[in-house]
Amino acid sequence: MSSSISGIGLAGFGTVGSGLWQILQEHGGMISDRSQGSAALEIRRIAVRDLAKKREIEAPAELFTSDLMELVNDPAVDIVVELIGGTEAAFDLVAAALRAGKPVVTGNKALLAERGAELFALSKQEQTAIHFEAAVAGGIPIIKAVQESLIANRIETIAGIINGTSNYILQRMTEAGLAYSEALKEAKDLGYAEADETLDVNGWDAAHKTILLASLAHGFLVNYKEVYVRGIEKVTPLDIKFASDLGYVVKLLSLVIERDDGKIEIRTQPSFLSKTHILASVHGVFNAVALKGDHLGDSLFYGRGAGQGPTASSVVSDLVEAARSDRSDRGFLPYRESGSLVEINDTVTSYYVRFSVTDQPGVIANIATILAEHQIGISGTHSPVDANNPDADFLEMVFLLHKCSFGRLKIALTEVEKLDCLTARPVVFRIETL
């Protein structure tokens, strides 16, 4: 079957960009054959910051430029692939490509989560699509699943482990008892963490992906400023050990939950998860997303959430879609003007709360009294003795609390902190029952 070739303008030739080049060199013919000739792909321009940089994977020198806008202006380029990251230069490139009528493929979750409203509006105005399968969970085809395979379902819950760096760090803290700083260094030495690990460990990498999933599942663009995000930087081996003693693991969980009143709850934070839950067995740098649809029921998507091959594979999937289709709605167009998010203080879960206290009579009673005054029930306590220091005049006391609103818990803990028996601020983890 004869086919026309879609010319690609590639912005960025780092890990994923060079992986895309490699895949198209190895499997370009197979991809064209599988698409019945409708997706013959050829990279015709590559924009990079430093033309002199030595690269592990080589491409013809004449393809390279340091001017991003050449990808837009070159008539031989039909589709623009944005893999440079960030939100400024990437925004300018994507916006210019859309105005030029060139479909865009991007793996930039931060760009879409923070400036998606502008770009999707421009996509609609120019009738030119944005494709972004690679922006969430690497090689896992979760975007197409939510947009297409589950189109007949009201998606009630999404629960994901979608940052491999944090997952690896927490696993090593769990298995080897490493401190956070030690586990982070190990992740960097193995290449699992970037030199600047901030977005991975502070929760925002996962949160950006969660915002995109929530927008797709519920049809309106979520304002990232309204989303509750906490990272793993303050997780300690002590709390991980207590979690294990109580039958839990600590995971950086991202949640999207539709409540009965139609409001959407969106959170990313380290949480306690039962060891028996399927997400508890997601290890290392792997990702997993558990979905519940009203007709489908429960479903799990699992695989490598980052890396050259998996992410580049998702980029190719989007390129094939862009080459095959002349429909402008193949990326994402909101189908609801707005939706309501649940304010974080109104969210309800059970809790683990650890109090560092002096060992004196009445401590438990004093804390329990304050909790009772705020109608917060106690399901159990845990106060192990330090075998290495049994005569210490302070101890760690854990309370497991029944479900209550986060706002109510915060008010109660503010009063508990006034007790003279406390030696540090209480440590709080949600206990998720998915």
In degrees, rounded to 5, the angle at the alpha carbon of residue 241 between the alpha carbons of residues 407 and 160 is 60
Strand order through the sheet with 130-131: 64-65, 40-47, 5-11, 79-82, 104-106, 130-131
Give buried/exposed letters for 23-53 (b at 16+ CB in 10 A, else e).
Answer: bbeeebeebbeebeeebbbebbbbbbeeeee
pLDDT at 413: 98
Residues labelled as active-site residues:
209
Are the C-beta atoms of residues 258 and 370 closer than 8 Å to each other? no
| Domains with residue ranges and CATH for the chain | 5-138 (3.40.50.720), 142-304 (3.30.360.10), 344-432 (3.30.70.260)
- With CA atoms as reference, report the closest residue to 230 among 259, 212, 251, 257: 251
Tokens 């079957």 correspond to what residue? 1
The parts of the chain modelled with pLDDT lower than 70 are 1-3, 326-333, 384-393
Strand pairing partners for 80? 9, 104
Q: What is the pLDDT of residues 26-62, one digit of tens each?
A: 998 898 888 777 778 999 999 999 998 888 888 999 9
What sign does the CA torsion over 420, 421, 425, 429 have? negative
d(CA 156, CA 211) in angstroms, rounded, equals: 15
pLDDT at 2: 44
What element of type H or E holds 273?
Answer: strand 264-274
Q: What is the pLDDT of residues 74-114, one digit of tens each?
A: 999 999 999 998 999 999 999 999 999 999 999 999 999 99
pLDDT at 1: 39
Are the C-beta atoms of residues 138 and 166 closer than 8 Å to each other? no
Strands 427-432 and 130-131: unpaired
